């Protein structure tokens, strides 16, 4: 009896391709979700966009919700990893750490198609609250915690003043969210210069947080209108 030939060992190239497939499917899903919305998107559409069989999608993701979670993790991993590295670099000032974080937010979120996830969440939040809870837990809470730690350390080091913004770190990141919304909605009408906008954002945040006290500017004509002292009689 002739024995069957032993299976060919999986080559490193095929293994790398297989390992990359979930990320490729997630990237295709982001494009489909952005185009059709989460509710209307089908896994068949994702498979077609990724160039794989529908069964391949189910091999990695059992539900559309699980696929959305993978989209979010893949999309925001570079952002959160970059923020985490900036936070761990204690040799730099907190001001430089904060500049690095905001730069990463613009580079990895606002300036890329990852901002489409915000459109999905806003559009689908009422119908799919579990997706919003997942995003808040995995992205918003972690990012806010890292940002709050930088601000608190800045206060402890005497770099930042202990003002309301330190206790509400959302306001520090707020202009970047506005930029993402602008790119999603108003870009065809009035394109946004992200370099200039990001520079203005950094200037606003650093000036607002700075612990250095500056003398208020002299009001024009204040000397001329100052009350004169009366002559002694």
CATH value at residue 40? 1.10.10.60
CB-CB neighbours of 181 under 10 Å: 15
What pLDDT sits at residue 116? 92
41, 148: one domain? no
Quick one: DSSP state of residue 114?
Answer: G
Residues 80, 177, single domain; the answer is yes
Same domain as 187, residue 84:
yes
Do 146 and 61 belong to one domain?
no
Report how many domains make up the chain: 2
Cβ atoms of 71 and 138 within 8 Å: the answer is no
Question: Is there a single domain that holds both residue 41 and residue 85?
Answer: no
Q: Report pTM.
A: 0.77
Which one has a higher pLDDT value, 65 or 10?
A: 65
Query: What is the predicted pLDDT for the residue at 84?
Result: 79
- The pLDDT tens digits for 125-172 are 899 999 999 999 989 998 899 999 999 999 999 999 999 999 999 999
Neighbours of 187 (CB within 10 A): 10
Give the pLDDT confidence score for residue 81 in this predicted structure. Answer: 82
Query: CB neighbours (10 Å) of residue 156?
Result: 11
CATH of the domain at 89: 1.10.357
Tell me which of 46, 68, 90 is where a domain ends. 68
pLDDT digits (tens, 9 = 90+) for 98-115: 999 999 899 989 999 999
Count the Cβ atoms, other than its own, within 10 Å of residue 84: 14
Q: Which domain holds residue 60?
A: 13-68
């Amino acid at each position: 009896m002739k024995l069957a030939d032993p299976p060919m060992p999986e080559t490193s190239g095929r293994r790398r391709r297989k390992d990359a497939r979930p990320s490729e499917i997630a990237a295709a899903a982001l494009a489909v979700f952005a185009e059709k919305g989460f509710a209307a998107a089908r896994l068949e559409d994702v498979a077609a966009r990724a160039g794989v069989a529908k069964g391949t999608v189910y091999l990695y993701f059992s539900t559309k919700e699980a696929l959305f979670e993978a989209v979010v993790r893949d999309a925001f991993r570079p952002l959160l990893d970059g923020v985490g590295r900036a936070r761990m670099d204690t040799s730099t000032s907190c001001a430089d750490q904060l500049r690095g974080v905001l730069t990463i937010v613009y580079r990895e979120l606002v300036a890329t198609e990852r901002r489409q996830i915000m459109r999905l969440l806003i559009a689908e939040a009422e119908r799919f609250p579990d997706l919003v809870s997942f995003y808040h837990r995995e992205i918003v809470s972690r990012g806010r915690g890292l940002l709050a730690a930088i601000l608190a350390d800045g206060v402890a080091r005497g770099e930042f003043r202990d003002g309301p913004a330190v206790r509400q770190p959302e306001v520090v990141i707020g202009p970047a969210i506005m930029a993402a919304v602008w790119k999603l909605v108003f870009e065809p009408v009035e394109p946004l210069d992200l370099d200039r906008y990001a520079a203005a954002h950094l200037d606003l945040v650093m000036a607002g947080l700075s612990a250095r006290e500056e003398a208020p500017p002299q009001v024009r004509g204040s000397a001329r209108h100052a009350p004169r002292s009366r002559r002694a009689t």
